[in-house]
């Protein structure tokens, strides 16, 4: 027990799913397994000060300002985690978070936000309890992150992270993510350039989005497709087959949006410029042979994934052809990273 310290702080990255998590059962259990690249620069830094108290309470600040709109989500999170982090019941917490990416960029920040907070809370618990040690620290932090936002469970590991049971990885679990090593050393380091098509808030919260899968007409098919795509993706990484990697990644992105378009109620989250960008990316790949592909979150922004050795070529293409379709010409250059860092 180390109680000399009364403040902890973690920087945790966002991630971009290659196989998308879409649909969940009770208690944040995913309908299908997912796998993501962990990002490097796009991250959240959270610090938590704690002091002894008769009962649990917390204050939350975002970039040093109080943010009442975040409280309902945080209340739900704390009600889910209190039985798993019992030491919190006698602490008063002061939480402060800040993002490395612009607030107006429309980038989903729940993965970096919840994973950085979960890492802080898991570290605090480990100071009071011997049930958390170096061996299980990240597994526990991933479990706690999941109870805030499913995709956040994957952010505690880099460069690849898998959440949800799949026969491809024996250790995989619906309750927490596991790190995936890229054993094939030929497989390139990937860059991710996020093209900001729409900087506004999300039109559909992911809570509502996941719910649409409960009675979705293609629910069964989607679950089997995700397993099939997962196995194709693993094979493509293991054998360094970038064409097949691209095929699966783009299929997953379009499937996510197709599922939303065929939900009841339905949502169209593409913007005309999302389509303009996608068409140009495919054309550029066909014409130049550059191994670049697109993927999407539940929004209009486009993530461009490409090997680092094509950085200059792709940057030239972005400036010349794609930036005109971005909101205020804005895009963020990131790359695949190694996971969270303790401050
Ligand atoms: O973690 P949530 O509940 O915000 O869901 C994320 C869902 C997607 O970003 C669309 C896909 C994914 O796997 O990250």
Distance CA 91, CA 50 (A): 6
Name the closest-CA residue to atom 6, ligand 1.
151
Q: What is the pLDDT of residues 295-313, one digit of tens each?
A: 999 999 999 999 999 999 9
Ligand 1 atom with minimal separation from the 16 CA:
14
Least confident of 27-36, 47-56, 202-211, 333-342: 202-211
pTM here is 0.96
Q: In the prediction, which pLDDT does 327 show?
A: 94
Question: Given pLDDT bands bounded at 50, 70 and 90, which one contains residue 25?
Answer: very high
Tell me phi and psi for residue 240, to 5 degrees.
60, 40
With vertex at residue 270, the alpha carbon angle to CA 267 and CA 274, rounded to the nearest 5 degrees, is 175
Ligand 1: distance of its center to the CA of 151 in Å? 5
- Measured from the Cα of 207, ligand 1's closest atom is 3
Mutate to test the pocket of ligand 1, among 15, 17, 44 (most ligand atoms within 8 A of CB): 17
Ligand 1 centroid to residue 31 C-alpha, Å:
12
Average pLDDT (236-262) is 97
- In angstroms, what is the span from residue 152 Cα to ligand 1's centroid? 8
Q: Per-residue pLDDT for 132 more than 70?
A: yes
Q: What is the pLDDT of residue 205?
A: 85
Q: Quickly state the pLDDT bin for 108 (edges 50, 70, 90).
A: low
Fold of 5-183: Ribosomal Protein S5; domain 2 (3.30.230)
Evaluate: CB of 193 within 6 angstroms of ligand 1: no
- Whole-number Å distance, alpha carbon 164 to ligand 1 midpoint, is 13
pLDDT of residue 202: 74
* Closest to 161 in 3D by CA, of 184, 147, 182, 133: 182
104 confidence band (pLDDT: 50, 70, 90): low
The 10s digit of each residue's pLDDT in 278-294 is 999 999 999 999 999 99
Distance separating alpha carbons of residues 209 and 262, to the nearest angstrom: 12
- The residues spanned by each domain of the chain are 5-183, 190-335
Nearest-CA residue for ligand 1 atom 4 is 206
- Cβ-proximal residues to 59 (8 Å cutoff; 6+ apart), any chain: 66, 93, 94, 95
**pLDDT interval class at 183 (50, 70, 90):** confident
Confidence of residue 204 (pLDDT cuts 50, 70, 90): confident
How many helices (H) and strands (E) would you count in the chain?
8, 14
Q: For position 5, what pLDDT does the model report?
A: 64
Second CATH level (architecture) for the domain 190-335? 2-Layer Sandwich (3.30)
CA distance 165 to 16: 19
DSSP-based three-state secondary structure for 270? coil
User: Is the CB–ligand 1 distance for residue 34 below 6 Å?
Assistant: yes
pLDDT confidence of residue 201 = 74
Residue 296, φ and ψ in degrees, nearest 5: -135, 150
**Mean pLDDT of all residues belonging to the chain:** 95
Averaged pLDDT for residues 11-24: 98
pLDDT at residue 247, rounded to an integer: 98
């Amino acid at each position: 027990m180390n109680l000399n310290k009364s403040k902890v702080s973690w920087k945790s990255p966002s991630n971009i799913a290659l196989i998308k998590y879409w649909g969940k059962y009770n208690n944040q259990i995913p309908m299908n397994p997912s796998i993501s690249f962990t990002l490097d620069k796009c991250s959240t830094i959270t610090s938590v000060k704690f002091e002894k108290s008769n009962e649990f309470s917390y204050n939350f600040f975002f970039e040093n300002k109080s943010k009442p709109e975040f409280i309902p989500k945080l209340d739900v999170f704390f009600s889910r985690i209190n039985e798993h982090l019992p030491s919190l019941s006698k602490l008063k917490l002061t939480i402060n978070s800040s993002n490395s990416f612009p607030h107006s960029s429309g980038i989903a920040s729940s993965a970096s936000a919840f994973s950085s907070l979960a890492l802080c809370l898991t570290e605090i618990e480990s100071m009071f309890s011997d049930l958390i040690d170096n061996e299980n620290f990240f597994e526990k932090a991933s479990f706690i992150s999941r109870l805030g936002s499913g995709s956040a469970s994957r952010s505690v590991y880099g460069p690849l992270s898998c959440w949800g049971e799949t026969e491809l990885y024996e250790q995989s679990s619906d309750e927490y993510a596991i790190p995936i090593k890229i054993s094939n050393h030929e497989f390139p380091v990937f860059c991710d350039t996020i093209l900001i098509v729409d900087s506004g808030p999300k039109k559909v919260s992911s809570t509502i989005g996941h719910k649409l899968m409960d009675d979705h007409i293609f629910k069964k098919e989607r679950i089997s497709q995700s397993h099939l795509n997962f196995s194709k993706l693993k094979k493509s990484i293991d054998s360094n087959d970038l064409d097949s990697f691209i095929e699966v990644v783009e299929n997953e992105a379009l499937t996510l949006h197709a599922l939303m378009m065929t939900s009841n109620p339905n949502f169209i989250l593409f913007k005309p410029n999302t389509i303009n960008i996608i068409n140009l990316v495919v054309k550029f790949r066909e014409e130049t042979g550059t191994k670049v592909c697109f993927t999407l979150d539940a929004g209009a922004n486009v993530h461009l994934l490409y090997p680092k050795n094509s950085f200059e070529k792709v940057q030239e293409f972005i400036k010349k052809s794609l930036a005109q379709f971005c909101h205020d010409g804005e895009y963020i250059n990131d790359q695949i990273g190694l996971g969270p860092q303790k401050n």
